[in-house]
């Protein structure tokens, strides 16, 4: 998009929602061999459209540069796998899916979700732009096409017999710079009575709970329910149900189909969420003011904690290497002098350095070996899972710390 125009309605953008300074791409991990080389930093600025109220980041890099070789693999989080299995089981029953159906996932990653439909004997197809991630799914026997999704891809899939009874698009619509082309593809790919489900972090939860670290360059848009309804409706798709999910600090799962499809009317959950967002005045531009000040307060609180810990001779390590953690650490200016290292279960991140901050990423057993006094949980939305995995931290008096919605030390 033109950086001065809304990617949905093309109205001029002038209202700043958040400015997190200059940061590298959140998943651009650095190899030790490149540790002495310069990195590219980009402005991380987010606007809210005065006309349609879509919250959106400026384009600073192409999708090909961001997603063609990607460091995020969904299958390394057990809680996410459990969440995906529950979704598949429920969708199969609710929509009567069987061996004659066709399930297509957009941004299918390593096959984390489609495997559950495939095990039930339902034909599946993944569409994934990152070749390195798609290769993992293909090795597991999950049919996956390596390409970006939009009108052209949708037409090609339909021409080859892949029109979908169910399209799943989990945590991808936020990653799309050409929003209208992407959503138009859903309308093309979906069968007349088919169902589209979208999952994405809920903007209302970001505002209420100060989840600014979910802002990064790979996230081009941040959706309220009112905004996603508006976008889908512009492309002939109508929302008929919505679920609130605990994932990613509070997400929505939206169910939609072709406008006018027989027997589908908005559920009470849809009507209730519309009323809630209207009561929060998400259709008014002044409701987005004040977020930047809350971000600054969180930065000060985290730095106060880390500096006090260092002065007291305490050692801080981190758990996880998620994109949200890289936003947080870069915005706060935290490096190895304050957080000695982080650990992550993904071997694709181990042995590398976090972008920007150059904090080393190790395997989880480094916590047991080095016994830090504090463990900063960067994927705070998974704190229960992390605290269970790292329960041994308490054996030497170590304590857990979460940074969002505010800095908190946990026993």
Model pLDDT, residue 274: 97
Q: What ranges do the domains of the chain cover?
A: 66-288, 291-410
Confidence of residue 290 (pLDDT cuts 50, 70, 90): confident
92: pLDDT strictly greater than 50: yes
Model pLDDT, residue 62: 62
Rounded Cα gap, residues 286 and 295, in angstroms: 17
3: pLDDT strictly greater than 70: no
Q: Which of 53-67, 102-116, 223-237, 243-257 has the lowest mean pLDDT?
A: 53-67
Strands 361-362 and 408-410: unpaired
- One fold for 66-288 and 291-410: yes
Confidence of residue 73 (pLDDT cuts 50, 70, 90): low
Report the helix count and the strand count for the chain, using DSSP H and E.
Answer: 13, 17
What residues contact residue 26 under an 8 Å CB cut-off, 6+ apart? Answer: 216, 217, 218, 323, 324, 326, 327, 355
Rounded Cα gap, residues 243 and 245, in angstroms: 6
Q: What is the mean pLDDT of residues 218-233?
A: 96
Model pLDDT, residue 64: 61
Rounded Cα gap, residues 40 and 48, in angstroms: 26
Token reading at 336:
């190895």
CATH of the structural domain 291-410, one choice from 3.40.50.720, 3.60.9.10, 3.40.50.1100, 3.40.50.2300: 3.40.50.720
Rounded Cα gap, residues 178 and 182, in angstroms: 6
Q: What is the mean pLDDT of residues 272-293?
A: 94
**Dihedral of alpha carbons 91, 95, 96, 98, sign:** negative
* Residue 319 · residue 378 · CB < 8 Å: yes
According to CATH, the topology of domain 66-288 is: Rossmann fold (3.40.50)
| pLDDT, tens digit, 9 for 90 and up, residues 334-355 | 999 999 999 999 998 999 999 9
What residues contact residue 354 under an 8 Å CB cut-off, 6+ apart? Answer: 29, 30, 321, 325, 326, 329, 342, 360, 361
166: pLDDT strictly greater than 50: yes
Q: Tell me whether the omega of the peptide bond preceding residue 405 falls within 30 degrees of 0, making it cis.
A: yes
Token reading at 110:
């390593």
262: pLDDT strictly greater than 60: yes
- Please provide the DSSP assignment of 199-222 as one string: EEEBHHHHHHHT-GGG--TT--EE
61: pLDDT strictly greater than 80: no
The helix or strand, by DSSP H or E, that contains position 327, with its residue range, turns out to be: helix 323-332
- Edge to edge, the sheet with strand 316-319 lists 361-362, 342-343, 316-319, 374-377, 399-402, 408-410
* Residue 203 · residue 224 · CB < 8 Å: yes
Q: What is the mean pLDDT of residues 174-187?
A: 96
């Amino acid at each position: 998009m033109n950086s001065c125009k809304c990617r949905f309605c093309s109205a001029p953008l002038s209202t700043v929602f958040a400015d997190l300074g200059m940061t590298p791409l959140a998943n651009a991990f650095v190899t030790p061999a490149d540790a002495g080389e310069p990195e590219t930093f980009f402005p991380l600025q987010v606007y809210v459209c005065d006309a349609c109220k879509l919250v959106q980041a400026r384009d600073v890099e192409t999708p090909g540069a961001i997603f063609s070789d990607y460091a995020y693999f969904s299958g390394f989080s057990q809680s996410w796998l459990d969440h995906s299995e529950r979704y598949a089981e429920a969708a199969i029953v609710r929509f009567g899916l069987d061996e004659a159906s066709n399930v297509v996932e957009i941004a299918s990653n390593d096959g984390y979700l489609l495997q559950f439909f495939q095990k039930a004997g339902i034909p599946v197809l993944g569409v994934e732009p990152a070749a390195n991630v798609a290769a993992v799914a293909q090795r597991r026997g999950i049919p996956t096409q390596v390409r970006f999704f939009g009108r052209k891809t949708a037409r090609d899939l339909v021409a080859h017999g892949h029109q979908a009874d169910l399209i799943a698009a989990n945590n991808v619509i936020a990653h799309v710079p050409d929003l209208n082309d992407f959503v138009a593809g859903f309308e093309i790919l979906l069968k007349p009575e088919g169902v589209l489900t979208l999952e994405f972090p809920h903007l209302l939860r970001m505002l209420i709970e100060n989840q600014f670290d979910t802002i990064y360059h790979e996230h081009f848009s941040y959706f309220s329910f009112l905004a996603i309804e508006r976008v889908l409706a512009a492309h002939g798709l109508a929302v008929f149900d919505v679920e609130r999910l605990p994932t990613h600090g509070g997400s929505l799962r939206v169910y939609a189909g072709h406008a006018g499809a027989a027997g589908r009317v908005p559920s009470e959950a849809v009507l209730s969420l519309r009323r809630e967002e209207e009561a929060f005045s998400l259709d008014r531009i002044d409701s987005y003011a004040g977020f930047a000040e809350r971000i600054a307060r969180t930065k000060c609180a985290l730095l106060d904690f880390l500096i006090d810990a260092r002065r007291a001779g305490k050692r801080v390590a981190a758990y996880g290497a998620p994109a949200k953690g890289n936003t947080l650490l870069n915005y706060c200016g935290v490096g190895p002098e304050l957080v000695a290292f982080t650990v992550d279960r993904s071997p694709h991140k181990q042995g590398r350095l976090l972008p920007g901050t150059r904090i080393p990423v190790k395997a989880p057993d480094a916590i047991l070996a080095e016994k830090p006094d504090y463990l900063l949980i960067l994927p705070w939305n998974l704190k229960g899972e992390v605290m269970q995995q790292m329960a041994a931290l308490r054996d030497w008096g170590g304590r857990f710390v979460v940074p969002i919605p505010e800095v908190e030390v946990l026993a």
